[in-house]
Amino acid sequence: MVTTIGRESTVEALLKDLIQLDYDAIAAYDAAIERLDEPAFRNTLTGFRDDHRRHTQNLAPFLRELGAEVPTEGDAKQLLTKGKVVMANLLGDTAILHAMRTNEDDTNTAYGRAVEHVGLSDEARAVVRQNLADERRHCEWILTTLKTL
């Protein structure tokens, strides 16, 4: 799935979309953690899922500051991100990690664009930049792990 997040015209829309994207990622990580056979993979992905939870929390104050309601769940994309993992379960850990890599490609793209959004305050940009660093770390671990399988 190719994301369009990061191209929003307002900061409010951007922050809402990022939070929903993180909730979608949480659902996908929950699905992956439940299905992975390798305990070390489950432990690492649990940490990544917790990063996404933190992202929903560290972006929320900026949205509240704008007077907007903070999303508390993902959107319809959640079915796609989680669905890829559920289907990959039929083929084992490697396929699950491949599915998670495609999900992380979207979060990396979204945060990469978001950090450049002209409307972000310096403080919000710093948080988005840190979230992007998390996303890059997630993707790097998945890619490195897939090379060893």
pLDDT, tens digit, 9 for 90 and up, residues 121-139: 999 999 999 999 999 999 9
| Cα distances (Å, whole numbers) of residue 10 to 15, 20, 28, 118 | 9, 16, 27, 9
pTM (2 d.p.): 0.91
Burial of residue 1 (number of CB atoms within 10 Å: 0-12, 13-18, 19+): exposed
Displacement of CA 69 from its chain's centroid (Å): 20
pLDDT, tens digit, 9 for 90 and up, residues 42-92: 999 999 999 999 999 999 999 999 999 999 987 655 445 555 555 655 568
The pLDDT of residue 92:
87
CB 18 within 8 A of CB 8: no
Helix (H, G, I), strand (E, B) or coil at 91: helix
The pLDDT of residue 73:
85
Alpha-carbon Rg for the chain, nearest whole angstrom, is 15
Indicate if the alpha-carbon torsion angle 67, 78, 112, 3 is positive or negative. Answer: negative
List, in order of start, the domains of the chain with CATH numbers.
11-148 (1.20.1260.10)
What are the structure tokens assigned to 78, written together? 């959640």
